[in-house]
């Protein structure tokens, strides 16, 4: 099997925000696993990428964190979406939809006619 590709620049924040919107508060490990599962295990999330992204999202006010206990009784930081994060998610999702539509025009074979 080939190597799993890295997460594209700018997409990790969108994946984190959408995952928190869908599942509610999660700790970092749970977030990473869920994003990998949602990708069909095509992506591999490295913690050196995830945690700086979580810190940045928290500093920007899009998520907040609280300490809690994980399902295996370990202390863990749980992240949840804020109202500002909900607004950012809506805007970012619309931007990515537009971007993928534009790229699709370049990747779709030209019609002869």
Range 90-97 average pLDDT: 94
5 domain residue, yes or no: no
Contact 49, 7 (CB under 8 A): yes
Q: pTM of the full predicted structure?
A: 0.85
Is the pLDDT confidence value at 98 over 80? yes
Find out whether 25 and 14 touch, Cβ atoms under 8 Å: no
Q: CATH number, domain at 102?
A: 1.10.10.10
Query: Do 39 and 103 touch, CB atoms closer than 8 A?
Result: no
Most confident of 3-12, 78-87, 104-113: 78-87
Residue 70 resides in a domain: yes
Does residue 113 belong to any structural domain of this protein? no
Number of structural domains found in the chain: 1
* Positive or negative: CA dihedral 50, 34, 10, 85: negative
In contact, 49 and 29? CB cutoff 8 Å: no
pLDDT digits (tens, 9 = 90+) for 48-81: 889 999 999 999 999 999 999 998 999 999 999 9
Could you give the 3-state DSSP secondary structure of residue 110?
Answer: coil
Classify residue 1: in a domain, yes or no: no
Q: Which domain holds residue 59?
A: 11-107
- Is residue 88 pLDDT above 60, yes or no? yes
User: Which residues, in sequence order, are CB contacts of 25 under 8 Å at separation 6+?
Assistant: 66, 68, 78, 79, 80
Predicted pLDDT at 47:
83
Domain-embedded: residue 103: yes
Residue 3 placed within a domain: no
Residue 10: the pLDDT is: 73
């Amino acid at each position: 099997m080939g190597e799993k590709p890295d997460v594209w620049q700018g997409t990790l924040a969108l994946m984190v925000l959408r995952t928190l919107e869908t599942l509610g508060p999660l700790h970092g490990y749970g977030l990473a696993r869920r994003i990998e599962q949602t990708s069909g295990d095509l992506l591999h999330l490295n913690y050196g990428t995830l945690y700086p992204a979580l810190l940045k999202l928290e500093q920007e006010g899009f998520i907040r964190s609280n300490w809690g206990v994980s399902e295996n009784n370990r202390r863990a930081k749980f992240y949840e979406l804020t109202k500002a994060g909900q607004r950012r998610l809506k805007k970012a999702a619309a931007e990515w939809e537009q971007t993928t539509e534009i790229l699709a025009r370049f990747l779709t074979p030209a019609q002869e006619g």
